[in-house]
Structure 1
Amino acid sequence: MGARRPAAGDGDLRVKRVDPARLAAFEVLKAVRVDDGYANLLLPTALARHGLTGRDAAFATELASGTIRRQGTYDAVLAACIDRSLRKVETKVLDALRLGAHQLLGMRVPTHAAIDTTVTLVRAKVNQGAAGFCNAVLRKVAAQDLDAWLAQLAPGTGTRDLAIAHSHPAWVVDELRAALGDAAGELPELLAADNVAPRVTLVARPGRATREELPGTPTSYSPFGVALDGGDPSSVPAVAEGRAGVQDEGSQLVALALAASPVEGRDERWVDLCAGPGGKAALLAALAAERGAALTGIELHHHRARLVARAASGPGLAGVVQADGTRAPFADGSVDRILLDAPCSGLGALRRRPEARWRRSARDVAELVPLQRALLAEAVRVLRPGGALLYATCSPVLAETAGVVTATLADRPEVRLEDVREHLPVVPDADGPLPGTVQLWPHRHGTDAMFLALLRKA
């Protein structure tokens, strides 16, 4: 008998080579899943390992990042095409199926190429049986475009349908709906904005660089920022020299709000109580240097403390101390300005870190809130009367924002909440959940969903 001829979609079992761009994306997905890595940090290494540049590098980047971002949507589609639970599908095979689904439904890859290259990848990395399974499943996926699948699987506006259509866990959809409050009708727009990769934003550190020397479009609200039109930010001379850095405009506004808030009397000792990885500390140190003040960074973890020291080095940095922010090494009432950018769920930065939506749970928020309250209590302890304390989170979740601030005000009657909006550039439609607070939004402001509250000790 003659050898079996390859079935349609199988290709030549002996000579087909795995496409390096797809292999790089496959490896990134595995590292994200197994090692809790972040795609944006893993991709440069994967691209270099496979020698990918130019269009191939861009393809691999979109394939990996887009697959992670739209994982919830693709899982719903795949579940409709598989006669068993996705939990029973081997994880490597499921990674490949998600990559294939993104090519078919989210990228302009011809159907034959998307299926054939995915089948080849699975054959090389798993086995022939799994390759045949992927071939059959992806042919079902390709029977409809994404709009048709969503019309079938998520036709409504309830939590479940929005979770599928916009690839967010249902509990995150509910938290964001609550955070929007009276503007909950904007929820689909917010969820859609979370799935749009943000442009890279640079910040010129005052006294060290000017915005005019940075390439890109000036940011709407920060006087020091530009949005890059493309290219590698590390190739910008000011960034390579440490005079500028990569920083979301919302994070720039956090530092600017603290620096612009008036203090009574002395204004020399500034502290960033949770300084890692150092972006806000670097901007604050530059602002402090212009006024003859100095910033001390506090960071619990050694490797993050080193990042702060590197990012914020230069005039205006008094030093970086590796310490627990809930037991700050400062005397009572000894600090003039404090930034507390508290550890949080990160649900305000899902554009930038799409993996966070799949890693976090409602339980994580419940566990973070006591830490946030403890850090804010310590910040209040070391803040001097008349000084300024800015509490910020990269999360709009009410328990992490209004809940923490309200509890602190109830516990510490000598602390009052002031209007931080007076100390920011004009940012429209940014009223926070408490009077005088600010809540930024990706769909309104093009920034991460930063929350800002200004506190002062009487």
Structure 2
Amino acid sequence: MTDQSSRRHRKPYRRPQRDPVRILAFEALRAVDERDAYANLVLPPLLRKARQAPPGPDGSAFDSRDAALATELVYGTLRRQGTYDAIIGQCVDRPLREVDPPVLDVLSLGVHQVLGTRIPPHAAVSSTVELARCVLGDGRAKFVNAVLRRVTAHDLDGWLERVAPPYDEDPEDHLGLVHAHPRWIVSALWDALGGGRSGVEELLEADNTRPAVTLVARPGRSTAAELLEQPDAEPGLWSPYAVRLSEGGEPGAIPAVAEGRAGVQDEGSQLVALALAAAPLEGPDRRWLDGCAGPGGKAALLAALAAERGAALLAAEKQPHRAGLVARSLAGSPGEYGVVTVDGTRPAWRPGTFDRVLVDVPCTGLGALRRRPEARWRRRPEDLDGFAPLQRGLLTEALRSTRPGGVVGYATCSPHLAETRAVVDDVLKSESAQWIDARPLLPGVPELGEGPDVQLWPHRHGTDAMYLALLRRTG
């Protein structure tokens, strides 16, 4: 016989409420973790799929506010992953490595909502526990609930006082936990800045601020004035071809971008291409080379600038799939251009072929941490050893590919001294070339240092931390 009294007191089963915003954020974090994907590549298709989905049972559809919240949850959680791991580690009864990665992702999403957003703590906890019930099950949802309730005992500043060592005892570790950067990156950025604490703290905070979407109007095909017709558009800071979408915006919905007449390109990258094109040249100016052209943003701008002078651009890229992206970026460009799949350290052309050469070399990407927040936790100091021979080889062959009197631009999206000045200095020991002062070729841009090379900074220039050295071939 059934015990009716026990049935009356048993809690009825409640189906977990699916929250499309937090489900999407969780899926993005799992893709980043499981596939080593980048959030800026994973998130857009997930958002498009959510917008195209039919309305939920209550008739609500995924709208722009949902997209903004999902984006903040993903990027904010990834940016402060190291800090949140340290806090979670204080609130669990086991080593963090023993917590299943999907559970840790849900916990991190919850911690970011509690400590890094304006969502009320009780709402942050309840929504995260509901997410856990949907994606992890009831048992692990109880664990998530217990941990997050411990997290709510303090605000972010209170937790940082507990997990970060005092600045006077260990400055790099303190800044790393407070500003969510690995210790070795804090040290490297500090060395590259060469200044005091205030400079490095401003840079670390800039890395934690999501940048505006920046467009480039490709000369001869579009203009900044056309792009400024967008309701959320404003002029760039330094490049005459740059336009920023102040509210983020959807670049693909802009006709000039959809048609390839404009593109998405950080202003620092635009300045690198413009400086190379403006560098004084001795002799003819007919043949340009982009020696590491993938995925094609700089190549498209260079092709347009070359066409204005009657010069031709050759874009070279080692990886076939990236060469395909370059070809797509260049499609419809004015003037003469070509795309070849070539390893820049083993060029297929004769020495001294080109008048202007750009090599934007592969690197650690430490200059773009604000765009790829997960990269700071993936990179290791030993990665520098892997890039060093490639960077030196590419610059060496770029110089040999340039005729005497021609100009080479060495660029990299990293401020690490081992990837910037050290590379150039080493190559100049064996190659015949001399420095060109790059600073006058970035008119209006302040705080460019003592030269002759240039290091751009997010906190000073509002760009990625692009490095540029300009060299003239002398023999």
1:49 corresponds to which residue?
Answer: 49
Q: Let me know the Cα RMSD of the aligned residues.
A: 1.5
Tell me the distance in 2 between the aligned counterparts of 1:60 and 1:172.
Answer: 28
TM-score between both structures, scaled by the size of structure 2: 0.92
In the TM superposition, what whole-angstrom CA distance separates every residue of 1:34-77 from its partner, at most 9, and x where no partner exists? 11111111112222333333111111111111111111111111
2:173 corresponds to which residue?
Answer: 160
Residue 159 (structure 2) pairs with residue 149 (structure 1):
yes
Matched to 1:35, the amino acid is R
Gaps in structure 1 of 5+ consecutive residues: 7-11
2:350 to 331, 342, 346: 331
Distance change (3 Å), C-alpha of 1:48 and 1:365 = same
1:239 to 235, 250, 257: 257
1:125 corresponds to which residue?
Answer: 135
Tell me the distance in 2 between the aligned counterparts of 1:279 and 1:48.
Answer: 23
Q: How many residues align?
A: 450
1:442 to 449, 458, 461: 458
Residue 322 (structure 2) pairs with residue 304 (structure 1):
yes
Task: Quote how far apart the aligned CAs of 1:392 are.
Answer: 0.5
Matched to 1:334, the amino acid is T
Residue 415 (structure 2) pairs with residue 396 (structure 1):
yes
Do the aligned residues in 1 keep the contact of 2:16 with 2:133 (CA within 8 Å)?
Answer: no
Do the aligned residues in 1 keep the contact of 2:165 with 2:173 (CA within 8 Å)?
Answer: no
Residue 108 (structure 2) pairs with residue 108 (structure 1):
no
Distance change (3 Å), C-alpha of 1:382 and 1:14 = same
1:80 corresponds to which residue?
Answer: 90
Tell me the distance in 1 between the aligned counterparts of 2:186 and 2:120.
Answer: 33
1:176 to 160, 176, 189: 189
Distance change (3 Å), C-alpha of 1:320 and 1:403 = same
Do the aligned residues in 1 keep the contact of 2:402 with 2:408 (CA within 8 Å)?
Answer: yes
1:187 to 200, 207, 213: 200
Matched to 2:305, the amino acid is L
Do the aligned residues in 2 keep the contact of 1:263 with 1:386 (CA within 8 Å)?
Answer: yes
In the TM superposition, what whole-angstrom CA distance separates every residue of 1:72-93 from its partner, at most 9, and x where no partner exists? 1111111111122111100000
Matched to 1:438, the amino acid is V
1:26 corresponds to which residue?
Answer: 26
Matched to 2:152, the amino acid is A
Task: Quote how far apart the aligned CAs of 1:16 are.
Answer: 2.5
Do the aligned residues in 1 keep the contact of 2:415 with 2:455 (CA within 8 Å)?
Answer: yes
| Aligned pairs for 1:204-215 within 5 A | 204-215=217-228
Distance change (3 Å), C-alpha of 1:219 and 1:48 = closer
Task: Quote how far apart the aligned CAs of 1:155 are.
Answer: 5.9
In the TM superposition, what whole-angstrom CA distance separates every residue of 1:327-386 from its partner, at most 9, and x where no partner exists? 112101111100000000000000111111011111111110111001111101111100
Partner of 2:429, secondary structure, is: helix
Task: Quote how far apart the aligned CAs of 1:124 are.
Answer: 2.4
Matched to 2:164, the amino acid is A
Partner of 1:14, secondary structure, is: coil
2:427 corresponds to which residue?
Answer: 408
Residue 392 (structure 2) pairs with residue 379 (structure 1):
no
Gaps in structure 2 of 5+ consecutive residues: 1-5, 54-61
Do the aligned residues in 2 keep the contact of 1:272 with 1:339 (CA within 8 Å)?
Answer: yes
Distance change (3 Å), C-alpha of 1:156 and 1:190 = farther
2:57 corresponds to which residue?
Answer: none
Tell me the distance in 2 between the aligned counterparts of 1:246 and 1:206.
Answer: 14
1:365 corresponds to which residue?
Answer: 384
Tell me the distance in 2 between the aligned counterparts of 1:424 and 1:399.
Answer: 24
Tell me the distance in 2 between the aligned counterparts of 1:15 and 1:33.
Answer: 28
Further displaced range: 81-90 or 178-187? 178-187
1:223 corresponds to which residue?
Answer: 240
In the TM superposition, what whole-angstrom CA distance separates every residue of 1:237-275 from its partner, at most 9, and x where no partner exists? 211221111111100000000000011111111000000
TM-score between both structures, scaled by the size of structure 1: 0.95
Distance change (3 Å), C-alpha of 1:101 and 1:21 = same
Tell me the distance in 1 between the aligned counterparts of 2:195 and 2:132.
Answer: 48
| Aligned pairs for 1:278-293 within 5 A | 278-293=296-311
2:149 to 115, 139, 160: 139
Do the aligned residues in 2 keep the contact of 1:18 with 1:117 (CA within 8 Å)?
Answer: no
Tell me the distance in 1 between the aligned counterparts of 2:151 and 2:290.
Answer: 49
Tell me the distance in 2 between the aligned counterparts of 1:390 and 1:131.
Answer: 54
Q: Share of identical aligned residues, percent?
A: 57
Partner of 1:18, secondary structure, is: coil
Residue 14 (structure 2) pairs with residue 14 (structure 1):
yes
Task: Quote how far apart the aligned CAs of 1:451 are.
Answer: 0.5
1:342 corresponds to which residue?
Answer: 361
Do the aligned residues in 1 keep the contact of 2:412 with 2:466 (CA within 8 Å)?
Answer: yes
Tell me the distance in 2 between the aligned counterparts of 1:143 and 1:417.
Answer: 57
Further displaced range: 381-390 or 229-238? 229-238
Tell me the distance in 2 between the aligned counterparts of 1:256 and 1:130.
Answer: 54
